[in-house]
Amino acid sequence: MIGASGYAGEELVRLLLAHPNVELAAITSRQFSGKPVADVFPRFAHIEKAMSLKFSDARPDELVRQAEIVFLALPHGLAAEFAKPLLVAAANPSSGGQAGARVIDLSADFRVHDAGVYKEFYGHDHPAPDLLGQSVYGLPEIYREQIRGAKLVACPGCYPTSILIPLRPLIRRKAIDRQRILVTSLSGVTGAGRKIEADYLFAECNESMRPYGVPKHRHLSEIEQELSILAGEKITIQFTPHLVPVNRGILTTICADIAANVVNLDLKLLFENAYGQEPFVRLLGDERFPDTKNVVGTNFIDIAWRIDPRTNRLVVMSAIDNMVKGASGQAVQCLNLMCGYPENAGLL
């Protein structure tokens, strides 16, 4: 695991240490190289697997000899620089790598298929554009079969996870006006990562709520890409994210006009047909509302819906833990699919 010192990295360490089928061979951090994991993260001091584990420097040539799966929990731009040598070594056993090594990336570097769109939203050229065609978008509810055989998996962002799963059946069944989709999301502060910036200091966030990234948040690039693939046509949405004074969790509200030719829309049937057998989708229907306190620490997404007869508009709401289903838990879910383990292994 490369880049284990951030919030998502720490959560991924927690999940992997508890996973019944996983041996955590190495974790890296420039900041903490040489230090025992339990010293940096005292919460793991009681776990036997963590007692002998130390942070090391990230050397791709060594890591592919140690591990079958390599996780990247790095900032965008940097992750791609590590992915390329890892995948090249994996493809060439004569160079010392293992032919079976595979990469699961938690950054944004391989989520967007078009290098031009990546530059538009992230402000710089893609470090490894030749790899964009090899990546599989790591949302199991949509790409389960492709993930199983993937060499490079790009885990979705937290906002896209909370938006794409609820919208997928509505888009596919043409139940809503695809050109009039409004989304508002509220996110906990950990979504910004473990960094020291004035906007994320306690005194700035506590007792305060504010929008940001308007009108063009970076996650729009992958949200609109995936919706367009589902629809078979270009989809553009209005997305307004907000920062709220909680540590973890995302609450998303989606508003859309019911399509003109739709009568007697049965949302319960539509969502149950799409997700009734999904291990991490909980359908709350039209009687309960999603609440972040019920998903924090879990890999579940809770989804509820309402139809407003006054406006002929559909309101769909979801809640996830941005650090688990929105990041590390989803990465482990992808790992389970890639390795043939039960999909919920290490996640319940």
- 158 belongs to the catalytic site: yes
Q: Which residues contact 45 (CB under 8 A, 6 or more apart)?
A: 38, 51
Of the candidates 271, 269, 279, the one whose C-alpha atom is nearest the C-alpha of residue 254 is 271
Write the DSSP assignment of 290-316 as a string of letters. --GGGTTTSS-EEEEEEEETTTTEEEE
Residues 275 and 256: beta-carbon distance below 8 Å: no
Alpha helices (H) along the chain: 7-18, 37-40, 48-51, 60-66, 78-91, 115-122, 140-148, 158-172, 202-205, 220-231, 267-275, 329-339
Among 155, 158, 205, 334, which one carries the catalytic annotation? 158
Alpha carbon separation from 235 to 135, 167, 221 (Å, rounded):
22, 12, 11
- The two most distant CA atoms of the chain are separated, in Å, by 67
Write the DSSP assignment of 182-207 as a string of letters. EEEEEE-GGGG-S---GGGSHHHHTT
Residues involved in catalysis: 158
